[in-house]
Amino acid sequence: MDLNFSQEEIAFRDEVRSFLDTRLPRHLADKVREGAHLTKADMQEWHAILQQRGWLASHWPKEWGGPGWTPIEKFLFENECAQAYAPRPVPFGTHMLGPALIKYGTEEQKRRWLPRMLDGSDWWCQGYSEPGAGSDLAALTTSAVRRTDERGECYVVNGQKIWTTLAQHANMIFCLVRTDPQAKKQEGISFLLVDMKTSGVEVRPIITLDGAHDVNEVFFTDVRVPAENLVGMENKGWDCAKYLLTFERTDIAGVGQSVAALSRLRQLAGTVHRGGRPLLQDPLFAARLARVEIELENMKTTNLRVLASAARGAAPGVETSILKIRGTEIRQEITSLNRRAMGVYARPLPEASPGDGQSPGLSAPQGAASAAAQYFNQRKLSIFGGSNEIQKNIIAKMMMGR
């Protein structure tokens, strides 16, 4: 396999760079650079800019409003966005549900929901994890009972979801629900689209260790969902869920984000001094930096192999689990090294004042205010999207038959 980019791919990369130079708002790039919290308005602004260019739904074919990119072009786009400090588009609609609907949805569902994802009419969130069903997602207990009422066929949903990212902004949620409590765990699950404004839906915030409000609890009490909001076949929602998770896990791996973050970390370590010399010359720090750099280069090669395979029509399989494990471990190590490089300038708590822990007469490195918060926040990477321990079980079963 040739891992070098073709002339056409290099030209596409240059086109992306030109677009980012001219269309990426400076205030959004500055926020991403500093690790600052992005508001709903910030995310909607970048969503609209990408959609205007036709580059929002990078996984989608042209017939449904996507750019029709090859896997390599998608990789190049994400890598350049990370280098330019562009916000990552909210993934739940266009990056996750969209491809699942294109594969499993009816024509009516595609015509109804896909355009609304693109124009921003709907903000989606993901209803998978539950208090007793996180890593073992198939143990979920949120129920959906099919009934007929004066308005027709529907499902009545009762239960709870947790760690629901950005549910406070969402008007729609795609949910895994149990429609056959007597079936084996994976065989009794269905995939439903639920309007968050429906009576009986309640969202409660969860404030994480970094002080941010990104995740929530969502409660369902006798929530009526029209039967036409079932995606795929009843009791076969696990197939749809697994397909969607391949996109989520690849996104979590964040190859482009790691490449950009490592480049910034190396620059920082060359300017910060410890004991009268640059941190890059500290043997222990340099060894850890070299190790993560080698691991990232290996993962980049693996990612390109997966992309080349996908370009030939192969379906993603165990490779997504491998990328998820290595990608999240690398991202966590980079944030750990970044916090160490910031030293006393890294605020230990989000509410700390700008001068806390800083030495008089010295200026803090760029990004110091968010270094500790990012470190704490990234602890979740190896857990969500299917914990790394679960991914190792998947690899063992698929590759070694165990």
- Separation between Cα atoms, residue 166 and residue 163, nearest integer Å: 9
How deeply is 395 buried, as exposed, middle or buried, from its count of CB atoms within 10 A (0-12, 13-18, 19+)?
middle
Retrieve residue 162's tokens: 């947790």
pLDDT at 216: 97
The answer to whether the beta carbons of residues 102 and 61 sit under 8 Å apart is yes
Residue 356: other Cβ atoms inside 10 A: 12
User: Computed over its alpha carbons, how large is the radius of gyration of the chain?
Assistant: 22
- Specify whether the CB–CB gap between 249 and 384 falls below 8 A: no
Is residue 68 in a domain? Answer: yes
Tell me, yes or no, whether 361 lies in a domain.
yes
Q: Which domain holds residue 59?
A: 7-89
Measured in residues, the chain has a length of 402
Torsion of CA 257, 260, 266, 272, to 10 degrees: -90
| C-alpha span between 382 and 212 (Å, rounded) | 19
Q: Could you tell me the two tokens for 166?
A: 């950005």
Among 42, 72, 89, identify where a domain stops: 89
Write down the pTM of the prediction: 0.85
Same domain, 81 and 138: no
Distance, in Å, from the CA atom of 196 to the CA atom of 214, rounded to the nearest integer, reads 17
Whether 18 is in a domain gets the answer: yes
Q: Are residues 222 and 268 both part of a single domain?
A: no
pLDDT reported for residue 360: 43
Distances (CA, A) of 348 to 41, 66, 213, 294: 28, 42, 18, 29
> Is 106 contained in some domain?
no
- Which residue, chain included where needed, has tokens 């968050």? 196
CATH number of the structural domain spanning residue 295:
1.20.140.10
In a domain, 395, yes or no: yes
Q: What is the pLDDT of residue 358?
A: 47
Please indicate, yes or no, if residue 108 is contained in any of the structural domains: no
Q: What is the DSSP letter of 176?
A: E
Together in a domain, 260 and 231:
no
Q: Closest Cα to residue 257, out of 89, 78, 377, 387?
A: 78
pLDDT at position 100 is: 92
CA distance 45 to 43: 5
Q: Which residue's entry shows tokens 């002080």?
A: 211
- Which amino acid would we find at residue 386? G
Taking the C-alpha atoms of residue 402 and residue 395, their distance in angstroms, rounded to an integer, is 9
Going by C-alpha positions, the residue among 349, 347, 387, 82 that lies closest to residue 212 is: 349
73 and 175 within one domain: no
Whether residue 214 sits in one domain with residue 272:
no
Residues 356, 287, single domain; the answer is yes
Decide: 174 and 229 in contact? Cβ < 8 Å: no
Calculated CA dihedral for residues 32, 243, 395, 90, nearest 10 degrees = 10
Assign residue 207 the CATH number of its domain: 2.40.110.10
Beta strands at 273-274 and 143-149: parallel, antiparallel or unpaired:
unpaired
What is residue 359's predicted lDDT score, i.e. its pLDDT? Answer: 47
Mind listing the pLDDT tens digit of every residue in the chain (402 residues)?
Answer: 556 789 999 999 999 999 999 999 999 999 998 878 899 999 999 999 999 999 999 889 999 999 999 888 988 998 899 999 999 999 999 999 999 999 999 999 999 999 999 999 999 999 999 999 887 888 999 999 999 999 999 999 999 999 999 999 999 999 999 999 999 888 999 999 999 999 999 999 999 877 789 999 999 999 999 999 999 999 999 999 888 877 766 677 788 889 888 988 999 999 888 888 899 999 999 999 999 999 999 888 887 777 666 556 555 667 778 888 898 999 999 999 999 898 887 766 555 544 444 444 446 677 777 788 788 888 888 887 778 888 888 788 877 765
Whether 307 is covered by a domain: the verdict is yes
Assess contact for 334 and 292: CB atoms under 8 A: yes
Whether residues 269 and 386 fall in one domain: yes
Tally of domains within the chain: 3
- Tell me what pLDDT residue 287 has: 96
The answer on 383 and 273 residing in a single domain is: yes
Phi/psi-derived region of residue 213, left when phi > 0, alpha when psi is between -120 and 50, beta in every other case: beta
DSSP state of 90: P
Last residue within a domain, chosen from 65, 89, 113: 89
Domain closes at, from 205, 235, 265: 235
Say whether 270 sits in a helix, a strand or coil.
helix
Catalytic residues: 248
Domain membership of residue 150 (yes or no) is yes
CB of 59 closer than 8 Å to CB of 71: no
Helices (H), 254-367: 255-271, 283-311, 318-342
- Do 314 and 396 fall into the same domain? yes
